[in-house]
Amino acid sequence: MTTPLGPAPGLPDARVRWLRAEEQRLLDWGARAVDDLGFGYLDSTGRIDETAGHPLLVTARMTYVFAIAARRGRSDAAGLRDHGVRALLDRFPDREHGGWVSQLERPLGRKSGYDHAFVLLAAAAVRDAGTEGAALFDAAAAIVQERFWRADEGAIADSFAADWSDPEPYRGANANMHLVEAFLAAWAATADADWLRKAGRIAERLIHGAARSHGWRIPEHFDEHWRPLLRYNADRPEDQFRPYGYLVGHSFEWARLLVQLSDAFSSCGRESPRWLGDAATALWERALEVGWSPDSRAGFVYSLDWEDRVVVDARLHWVVSEAAGAAAALARRGVPGAAVWGERIWADIESRFADPAGSWHHELDAAGRPSARVWPGKPDLYHAYQAVVSAQGEA
């Protein structure tokens, strides 16, 4: 998120004012998560949930958020950013084997590519914030490239045992998608075009290949030979990170990332593959067509099966956040209807997700009531904050 663009087309002045206020309200909430070990997991009341422990994911995401907030002039954000950097340098590293533990309370758990993607994302955002930020970036870049990246596949492996043995015979779109975002941030921080090449290879495999061949629905799960596993976790459809089926939220997230990748290629004097823009629009249009109100209730559903039947009808805050981000990116590209959809999505967020008590409800049931089937608590500013910031004009 580096290029000032101005507010997304089609947003009324009142909406822009609301977004500015909402940005600060979200950051006020996130500041509650600070504790001695990094950032804790906030429950729905804004208290740290001691039973949730300290996931690496939460501290990495919050460090990233406060790095962006510091760049945007929030007075206390630099201190919160630096607190996160120190936690990522001092608390979470695996001193014996390298990399980062996925949870402080379970240091012998598996090493996750998904979690390490967020360490690299945070590290890229803080690379220029002093020697500690630079050290974190160098360490994260080395681990991701040496341990997770598979040059022969043009993607990353998903997980390993704590000592880097026992590679999982699974490949996931989710972890690879977040590495695309992290690689884009690393390119923005370094101007090293190799990061763009890696991001482009992942996008080509998962979108130009797999999504295109599945009617612009993104398969989430693959075996180690990249054969789609369309029934994976059919018995666990509400899984937070590896749910069964087609996730409209990831189509929106990918649409945003493909626009950013295309812009990045162009900005460094390289020809942007034409398919990037076409694919972003196709993903967006398919997700709108089948994901909004397929059960005749307002909002985007969490997941569908491969015949577009609703699997999990919960409305997740990250899904609508990514829809808002995609709308802003595509509206700036002049995609028909994107600006109108952008305001429609923000109206849904303001009326149903933005909790007057603080932050956003992370989950609503199909009737619009706060729920916790998939995602309990309110620990995560990453999706909401990015959506608010992108709509205001930082991409």
User: pLDDT tens digits, residue range 358-395?
Assistant: 999 999 999 999 999 999 999 989 999 999 999 998 64
Burial of 308 (0-12, 13-18, 19+ CB in 10 A): middle
Torsion of CA 30, 31, 32, 34, to 10 degrees: 110
Question: Residue type at 207?
Answer: I
How many other CB atoms sit within 10 Å of the CB of residue 182? 27
- Give the pLDDT score at 6: 85
CB 211 within 8 A of CB 219: yes
Is 81 domain-assigned? yes
Going by the DSSP 8-state scheme, the letter that residue 393 receives in this structure is T
**Crossing angle between the packed helical segments 56-71 and 113-126, to the nearest 10 degrees:** 20
From residue 2, give the alpha-carbon distance in Å to each of 76, 195, 327. Answer: 20, 16, 18
Which residues constitute the domain of residue 147?
Answer: 36-168
Structural domain count, the chain: 1
Q: Which residues contact 301 (CB under 8 A, 6 or more apart)?
A: 248, 291, 294, 295, 310, 312, 313, 314, 315, 366
Is 135 domain-assigned? yes
Token couple for 57: 């994911």
Known catalytic residues are 250, 383
Is 141 domain-assigned? yes
The Cα 178–Cα 185 span in angstroms is 11
- Give the pLDDT score at 3: 54
Is 235 domain-assigned? no
Is 219 domain-assigned? no
What's the predicted TM-score (pTM) here?
Answer: 0.97
The Cα 85–Cα 72 span in angstroms is 18
Task: Please report the DSSP string for 64-123 in residue order.
Answer: HHHHHHHHTT-TTHHHHHHHHHHHHHHTSB-TTTSSB-SBTT-TTS-EEHHHHHHHHHHH
CB 188 within 8 A of CB 123: no
Is 7 domain-assigned? no
CA 286 to chain centre: 20
Task: Render pLDDT for 298-310 as a digit per residue (tens, 0 to 9).
Answer: 999 999 999 999 9
Residues of the chain with pLDDT under 50: 1, 395
Is 303 domain-assigned? no
CATH of the domain at 102: 1.50.10.20
Is 133 domain-assigned? yes
- Give the pLDDT score at 4: 65
**H-helix or E-strand containing 213?**
helix 212-213
